[in-house]
Chains A and B, each alone.
Chain A
Amino acid sequence: MSENLEQTFVQQLRENQNIIHKICRLYTSDGDAHKDLFQEITIQLWKAFPKFRGDAKFSTWAYRVALNTAITLYRKSTRSVSTVEYEKHSFFISQDEYNSEEEEQIKLMYQAVHQLNDIEKALVFMYLEDKDYTEIAETIGISEVNARVKMNRIKGKLKKILNP
């Protein structure tokens, strides 16, 4: 029975692992930290898996556990990334099909997002994932109106980082 559960979990996780990778991309600054956080999220997902009910989508459920792990449970600080560290994390940006100006802009955007705090990153993450404000507010535990207000402030903050 438990072996079966483990098998189901591992299979689901493998199929949905990009969710975790994306969170690691936002919250860590090098390959080792990426792997470390990935592992912690996997452990936390596995611990919470018996409470996962089949009526929700695995991915929706995983978003929540993974974000909570990155923001709250993960012990190592995930903030303050220097530009040098960032540059080393080369798999962030694919080199193909971009004109250099756009590419440069995207690179700067990633750097700017990395300067945000943990909570702001969570909002940006869900925005990039096309989550609506109801879900964003519910996941983080703030009101929907305030989630909207905060998102607008983050946009302003990003603009300021890009054009100081």
Chain B
Amino acid sequence: MEELDLLKKDWKKNENSFEQVSEVDIYKMLHKKSSSIVKWILIISILEVLLWTGISLVYNSDEYFIRTHSEYLIEYFKYLTIFNYAVVAVFIYMFYKNYRAISTITSTKQLMKDILKTRKTVKYYVWYNLGMMVVSMIIGFALVFTVDPKLHELTSKGNAMIFMIAFCTVCILVFVGLFWLFYRLIYGILLRKLFRNYNELKKIDL
């Protein structure tokens, strides 16, 4: 292609036409903060882990169990909490391993794969938490109705029971829906460019 060769000629000719950056300025740049997507993924991931861990720390069910005279449940919840921490530890380890594997020296395609892999770990973590939350909400609602004497009385009146179940289901759905939307939004914005370019690369090797 003749035009491309013409461009190459001009490209070579203007190779040294850039305003040169001094060593002093390069030194300054080295101490500036990066704003790469990898860094953003790291920050958001840490925030996510903190948020979910925070929620489980703040939410203390023991008091409620004591109030409703169902202390036997405290033991079960203790095991659940230990299991939960073990899962968090595994996720953090996997995330760290994947994050460390991200390197700018590999090929573009590999780099994209590594970033997506790191991101996926966090996604699974979020899904795990959402799942746990839904399960504990269902158990929680069920418990509240069987254990709490006031509510137990209410639900024994036929229609009220159906109404309450419907209400709980809607609550859970709205809650999960909002979270899902929130995540789509954050990562949609953050990873739009990456996905576009990754798909472009995949197309080439088809």
Q: Real complex partners, A and B?
A: yes
Q: Which residues from chain A contact B111 at a C-beta distance below 8 Å? A: 68, 72-73
Residue in chain A with minimal CB distance to B14: A94
A18-B16, A43-B32 as given contacts; A146 in contact with B23, CB under 8 Å: no
Q: Size class of B's contact patch? A: 35 or more
Secondary structure class of chain A's binding surface, majority of residues: helix
Residues of A within 8 A of B36 (CB): 40, 43-44, 69, 73-75
B19-65 contacts to A (CB < 8 Å):
19-23, 26-27, 29-30, 32-38, 40
- Bound together, the chains give a CA A141 to CA B105 distance in angstroms of 12
Task: Check A64–B104 contact: CB distance below 8 A.
Answer: yes
Q: Which of B13, B22, B27, B35 contacts A94 (CB 8 A)?
A: B13
A-chain residues with CB within 8 Å of residue B3 when the two chains form the complex = 105, 109, 158-159, 162
20 contacts between A and B (CB under 8 A): A14-B22, A43-B33, A43-B34, A46-B30, A47-B34, A48-B105, A68-B104, A72-B37, A78-B193, A91-B19, A93-B14, A109-B3, A118-B193, A119-B108, A119-B201, A139-B107, A141-B107, A147-B204, A158-B1, A158-B3
Question: Which A residues form the contact surface with B (CB < 8 A)?
Answer: 6, 9-11, 13-14, 17-18, 21-22, 25, 38-40, 42-44, 46-48, 51, 61, 64-65, 67-69, 71-75, 77-79, 91-94, 102, 105-106, 109-110, 113, 117-120, 122, 124, 127-128, 138-143, 146-147, 149-150, 155, 158-159, 162
